[in-house]
Each structure stands twice: as structure tokens, then as C-alpha cells.
Structure 1
Amino acid sequence: MSTFAVFGMTANVALAMARETTKTSRLPTAGLTLAEWNKAVEEQAAKIMAGKKVRQLSQLFDAPQYAEQFMELARKTGQCRDLRIRAKCEITDAKGKPVINAKTKMPKVGWTEYSPDLSRVA
């Protein structure tokens, strides 16, 4: 059974990431004022939103339709980009064979892009 989650980037997540990474001082002896720091955070958040990095935005879902509902809500609430549903399942190579972990001798499990099977719709 697969597990589904929504990956992408929203303005709120970008702002939280920017707050974590923005330094509070330029030099070891001089700190930034609150206004300067807020401006630096906003600039960093804009860079994150313009970039390609994505994060897991949702909790884990049992079915993809719940992830689709989450994506609809995320689009309504604010600025977002690159929203995708990913499924956690065995990773396969180009021939469709599972990729085996050399250490554990078990198939590797990871996030792969989910695409609905259109052949079921008829």
C-alpha cells in the first residue's frame, strides 16, 4: 500500500525557511535592526519562492484524492508553486526492476511522482 503526500512550496513555508536561515548580524560585533532583519527575511523568502526547491507540505494520506483536496485548499489560501502528489513506494530502475540497497539487500523505498492510472477511468 502506498502513502501519498503533497510536495511543493508556499509563501508561508518559504517565509519560515527564510527566518531560519537569515543571520541576525552582518559582522560579529554589529547586529541588524529589526527592520533590516525583516527586509532580509523577505528578500530571502522571495529567492526561495523563485527557486526550484520543494518541501513536503502535507501530512501523509492513505489515498490520492485526499492529497488532491489538500492541493486545492493550498491553492486557495495563498501563493504556491510546483504542487505535486508523490507516493512512497519501491524505487525501480528504467527496466522496472526494484533498486536494491547494497547494505540491507532490500528494495529501496522513496518518494516518486504519482500519476493517476487513466486506464481505470472508463
Structure 2
Amino acid sequence: MSTFAVFGMTRDVALAEAKKRTKGTRKNVKAPGGVEPVPLVEWLELVEKKTEQIMGGTVRQLSPLFDAPQYAEQFIALARKTSQSRDLRIRAKRVMTDAKGKPIINPKTKAPKVGFCEWQLESIYQTA
């Protein structure tokens, strides 16, 4: 069962997301159809601003799911070598617990909630 993934943000991912989110047109009442294309130079500036905003924002899952944390560590090492990155962390898919360590139960299904939690090497030895 694959349970480990790398979360964080890299400049490449932020740039790709910024390109998707930045519109290539803008409203103009005088243009036919009410819109006009944004010049390429101006669009690239908007993409760069959006990239910086995304780099300073939230984190997301960067890697596919791995079977062992060693593979996630290799992914982190490669990501740090190849591009600018921040907040790269390994998270494991497991049963969510509250502050007292009790599993969080979904009221609708009565099953424990499963989600990604921070993974630490020491946590294995503490539970054993």
C-alpha cells in the first residue's frame, strides 16, 4: 500500500499553475467582442507575479504516492538539486487523530478519517 508522498512547492510547479491561472485576454469596450488579447510581454509579467504569489502561498502534493519513505527522500533530494523549492516534507497517509491521540470518526460513515499527516522517523519507534 502506497502511503508516503512529498508535499511542498517548487518553482516549476508554481510557474505551471500560474500559466494556467493567468488570463490571456482582458475586457475592452472598443474591441470587437468586448475583449482584447494581452500582449505577450505583459502576460509574462503577470505570470511572473502570480508565480511569486504561489511560491509564497500554500503547499501541495508534488510527488506520486511511494511505498517507502526512502523514495520520498530521494524525490526531495532531486527536487532541491533541480529547482528552487520550499517546505518539502514527507507526509504519510494514516488515520487522523485528535490532540488526545484518539482517532477522528466521520459522523456519517462511522469510520475513522484517513488523511495525510507529517511523517517523522522517530514516530515509528515511539509506536513500536
Q: Aligned residue for 2:31?
A: none
Q: Aligned residue for 1:104?
A: 109
Q: What one-letter code is carried by the residue in structure 2 that aligns with 1:70?
A: F
User: Structure 1 residue 106: deviation in Å?
Assistant: 0.3
The answer to whether 1:69 aligns with 2:71 is: no
Q: CA-atom RMSD, angstroms?
A: 1.6
Map 1:1-122; keep pairs closer than 5 Å: 3-27=3-27, 28-51=34-57, 53-117=58-122, 120=125
Once residues 18 and 44 of structure 1 are traced to their aligned partners in structure 2, the CA distance between those partners, rounded to angstroms, is 5
**TM-score of the two chains, using structure 2 as the length reference:** 0.86
Structure 2: gaps (5+ residues): 28-33
User: Structure 1 residue 29: deviation in Å?
Assistant: 2.1
**TM-score of the two chains, using structure 1 as the length reference:** 0.90
User: Structure 1 residue 2: deviation in Å?
Assistant: 6.4
Give the aligned length: 119
User: Structure 1 residue 25: deviation in Å?
Assistant: 1.9
Contact 2:2-2:65 at 8 Å conserved across structures: no
Deviation per residue, 1:77-121 (Å, 9 max, x gap): 01000000000000001111100001110000001011111785x
Once residues 54 and 22 of structure 2 are traced to their aligned partners in structure 1, the CA distance between those partners, rounded to angstroms, is 12
In structure 2, relative to structure 1, the CA distance for the partners of 1:69 and 1:55 (3 Å cut) is same
Identity, % of aligned positions: 61
SS at match of 1:76: helix
Q: What one-letter code is carried by the residue in structure 1 that aligns with 2:22?
A: T
